[in-house]
Structure 1
Amino acid sequence: MALRAVRVPVSHLIGEREFYGRRFKVSGEVLDPRPETETLIEAALSCPFKRILDLGTGSGCILVTLLAEQQDASGLGVDLSEAACLQASANAVLHRVAERADIRQSDWLQNVSGTFDLIVSNPPYIARSEMEALDPEVLDHEPQMALTDGGDGLGAYRSILAGVMQHLVPGGRLLVEIGPSQGADVADLFRAAGLEAVQVLPDLDGRDRVVCGNAPA
């Protein structure tokens, strides 16, 4: 009870969190999987894929879920945090997709090679000016590098889009999670990078949650 009194998240006390029907191991080193991210999973599963790249993989919940749901797919998950890479690797083993999951340390696309037909990311999108309004469970117990870019909240999208086109196969898809007020801005960044058929998708609460686009075929 003492730990709950200082607002330590329940998931950190028990060491796991449910996501898309599976239990994922979590810690204070990674962002907790959240129900709204399941919107990205549903969008990703709406079309077949064979090769996935997950940028900022964190706990690995997105990559591992997609590999578990698509049994013939393989994927690469990258994160700047070594601790996050270890956590993602453990979750890949837990859910028996480790043979199809390559986890490595990278600053976004820096150490990424090859092409993919699906690239996904739930990057840090909270603006620095919004951080103080977060609940103590989030602000005090989750890694700040997974929450904010320290600027306007769009920095991670700019970094991803600066190099993403060379890693998408023709017709390949990019899907990113966003904050509910960022749909128009991120969609504009997608179009400026050359992506087509750009859409902003809502979560179950009707808030903008995912931006998706396709590389030219």
Structure 2
Amino acid sequence: MSTPTVRAAIADAATRIQSATPRLDAELLMAHALNVSHQDLLLKYLNDPPPAGFDALVARRIAHEPVGYITGSRGFWSIEVAVGPGVLVPRADSETLIAAAVAHFAGSDGPKRVLDLGTGPGTLVLAALAEWPEATGVGVDASDTALAYARRNAETLGIAERVELRRGDWATGISGRFDLILCNPPYIGTAEELGPEVRDHEPPAALFAGTDGLDDYRRIIPDLPRLLAPGGIALVEIGWTQGETVSALMRRVGLDPVLHHDLGGRPRAIAAKMPRN
């Protein structure tokens, strides 16, 4: 009888996990069980015996608990973000906003002031501040739970002195101008169907925005012109069907919108700039 290996345990788990990325999910759970990085798992540990705790982690994933909640963290851009129940798990699609910001500021010193509306666990603002070490930022969220995670992440990343994390209602009470504004608001309609991983675990307040999914855009977008610094850019995540509608809301307040696509080729973010005179 052959000795069980990490490689075989991952392969078996991948056949039982029902998700868009079952193999990756199994690898991330195994790396967590071994307390090693994903890269080191693949390079050094595949022929080792599997740890005893792996099966329990797989059982939680089979029950549709998000991988980020099981492992306690999620990789995003160049940083690792601590997450858990009560906060939105960062998606790779949201990296579209950071990629667009990097392209916008290429050849310059980058943004000096960054604003993240609906910061959650600090995902976007902390990724931006890690990208531009001279920048400072403000992250706003209505959830005390999310802000607690954001503060923890800022401390872990050594960014706490460069970011102000405050409880708030979108841009209400925010003054001054920012070179980079980031926002990943709720954009799912209340009647839309969601898979159990999202529906049963992630906070509804971070997901749903009225019957058409546009309620929060209608509140956020009118504030962007007064908050954008000259030469600055606002980047707002959207659902893939919302590009034209959200662009129209931006044009209505005098902004020039440009659509950006994620790595899957779907509309994912809108960049808004003040028009040139």
TM-score by length of 1: 0.94
Which residue type is aligned with residue 215 of structure 1? M
Structure 1 counterpart of 2:135, from 64, 73, 81: 73
Shift of 1:106: 0.4
Q: Is the 8 A contact 1:173 1:212 kept in 2?
A: yes
Please state whether the residue corresponding to 2:128 is helix, strand or coil: helix
Shift of 1:143: 0.4
What is the total number of aligned residue pairs between the two structures? 214
Q: Is the 8 A contact 2:78 2:130 kept in 1?
A: no
For 1:4-153, what aligned pairs fall within 5 Å after superposition?
4-46=61-103, 47=105, 48-130=110-192, 133-153=193-213
Which residue type is aligned with residue 16 of structure 1? S
- Runs of 4 or more consecutive aligned structure 1 residues displaced over 2 Å after TM superposition: 1-6
Counterparts of 1:44 and 1:124, CA distance in 2: 21
Shift of 1:159: 0.6
Q: CA 1:111–1:86 in structure 2 vs 1: closer, same or farther (change >3 Å)?
A: farther
Q: Which runs of 5+ in 1 are unaligned?
A: none
Shift of 1:171: 2.9
Match of 1:200 in 2: 259
Shift of 1:21: 3.3
Shift of 1:113: 1.8
Counterparts of 1:119 and 1:29, CA distance in 2: 24
Structure number with greater Rg is 2
Same amino acid, percent of matched pairs:
45
With 145-154 and 118-127 compared, the bigger mean Cα shift is at 145-154
Is the strand fraction higher in 1 or 2?
A: 1
Counterparts of 2:221 and 2:210, CA distance in 1: 18
Shift of 1:187: 0.8
Shift of 1:5: 4.3
Please state whether the residue corresponding to 2:265 is helix, strand or coil: coil
With 158-167 and 52-61 compared, the bigger mean Cα shift is at 158-167
Matched, 1:176 2:236: yes
Which residue type is aligned with residue 141 of structure 2? D
Query: Cα deviation per residue 1:142-185 (whole Å; 9 max; x = unaligned)?
Result: 00010111321111111111222111122321110101101111
Counterparts of 2:231 and 2:82, CA distance in 1: 34
Q: Is the 8 A contact 1:105 1:111 kept in 2?
A: no
Q: Is the 8 A contact 2:96 2:262 kept in 1?
A: yes
Is the helix fraction higher in 1 or 2?
A: 2
Please state whether the residue corresponding to 1:129 is helix, strand or coil: coil
Counterparts of 1:21 and 1:175, CA distance in 2: 18
Matched, 1:154 2:214: yes
Query: Cα deviation per residue 1:114-164 (whole Å; 9 max; x = unaligned)?
Result: 11111110000111121xx21111111000010111321111111111222
TM-score by length of 2: 0.74
Which residue type is aligned with residue 69 of structure 1? E
Match of 2:26 in 1: none
Structure 2 counterpart of 1:191, from 251, 255, 259: 251
Q: Is the 8 A contact 1:79 1:108 kept in 2?
A: yes
